[in-house]
């Protein structure tokens, strides 16, 4: 399963990239606003930190406007993945862009039917939001399971990019279901390494080593 960082913080992206765990990055208008930087500038810097896809989102809601913005975004770097909303205009834009060889991430997916439409429109990635789904009384991971089944039934090549990841259990369940990608805040990704028994084991080894009086 691929790991994407859901952030526009270039320092955090660089830190994760150095571990070899980073396969790509997703951004959105809220994350760009949080960075306090120009979207073109920060996206270009992020694209230089990873060879993987970097999702940059359009703001326009109409097809013509999305295409205008996509033309600007995809010129930033070869690994830009244009992000569009799961609307009829978004799907139309997705079809036009993917037919022209541009990667597209169809975002704000909340149903398996929506994911089916995204795949038929040729999306490179579809982003179902599990955390937000859970917040509204639905089962976010069941949504991922339904999408996986449908995509496998028809051999769709669209990758399931699990978004709105809140904690390690979401990552575990997504991996068990067979999702292609998860995108999560860097803190969640780094938190996956932590386990109380690992910490205790390290402490015990260090204590025993100190008793030997040796150095390496």
Task: Give the domain CATH number at 65.
Answer: 3.20.20.70
Could you report the per-residue pLDDT of 103-118, keeping only the tens digit for each?
999 999 999 999 999 9
- Please report the DSSP string for 129-154 in residue order: BHHHHHHTTS-HHHHHHHHHHHHHHH
Q: CA 38 to CA 212: how far, in whole Å? A: 55
Per-residue pLDDT band at 174 (split at 50, 70, 90): very high
95 alpha carbon, distance to own chain's centre: 20
Q: Which of 34, 75, 83, 211 is catalytic?
A: 83
Could you report the per-residue pLDDT of 59-80, keeping only the tens digit for each?
999 999 999 999 999 999 999 9
Residue range 113-126: mean pLDDT, rounded:
98
Query: What is the model's pLDDT at position 57?
Result: 98
Per-residue pLDDT band at 30 (split at 50, 70, 90): very high
Q: Which percentage of the chain shows pLDDT scores above 90?
A: 99
Query: What is the model's pLDDT at position 70?
Result: 98
Instruction: Decide if 23 contacts 4 (C-beta within 8 A).
Output: yes
Q: What rounded mean pLDDT belongs to the chain?
A: 97
Q: Identify whether 83 is a catalytic site residue.
A: yes
Residue 169 structural domain = 2-212
Number of domains in the chain: 1
Query: What is the model's pLDDT at position 192?
Result: 97
Could you report the per-residue pLDDT of 184-193, keeping only the tens digit for each?
999 999 999 9
Residue range 155-172: mean pLDDT, rounded:
97
Tokens of 97: 């862009």
Query: What is the model's pLDDT at position 60?
Result: 98
């Amino acid at each position: 399963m691929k790991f994407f960082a859901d952030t526009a913080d270039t320092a955090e992206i660089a830190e994760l990239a150095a571990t070899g765990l980073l396969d790509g990055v997703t951004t959105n208008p809220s994350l760009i606003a949080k960075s306090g930087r120009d979207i073109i500038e920060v996206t270009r810097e992020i694209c230089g930190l990873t060879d993987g896809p970097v999702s940059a989102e359009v703001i326009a809601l109409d097809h013509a406007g999305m295409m205008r913005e996509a033309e600007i975004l995809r010129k930033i770097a070869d690994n830009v993945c244009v992000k569009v909303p799961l609307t009829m205009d978004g799907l139309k834009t997705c079809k036009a862009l993917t037919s022209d060889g541009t990667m597209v991430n169809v975002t704000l997916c909340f149903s398996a039917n929506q994911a089916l439409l995204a795949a038929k429109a040729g999306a490179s990635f579809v982003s179902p939001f599990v955390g937000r789904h859970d917040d509204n009384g639905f089962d976010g991971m069941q949504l991922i399971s339904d999408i996986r089944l449908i995509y496998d039934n028809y051999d769709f090549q669209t990758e399931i990019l699990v978004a709105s990841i809140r904690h390690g259990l979401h990552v575990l369940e997504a991996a068990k279901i067979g999702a292609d990608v998860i995108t999560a805040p860097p803190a969640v990704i780094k938190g996956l390494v932590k386990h109380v028994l690992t910490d205790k084991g390290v402490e015990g080894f260090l204590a025993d080593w100190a008793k030997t009086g040796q150095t390496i």
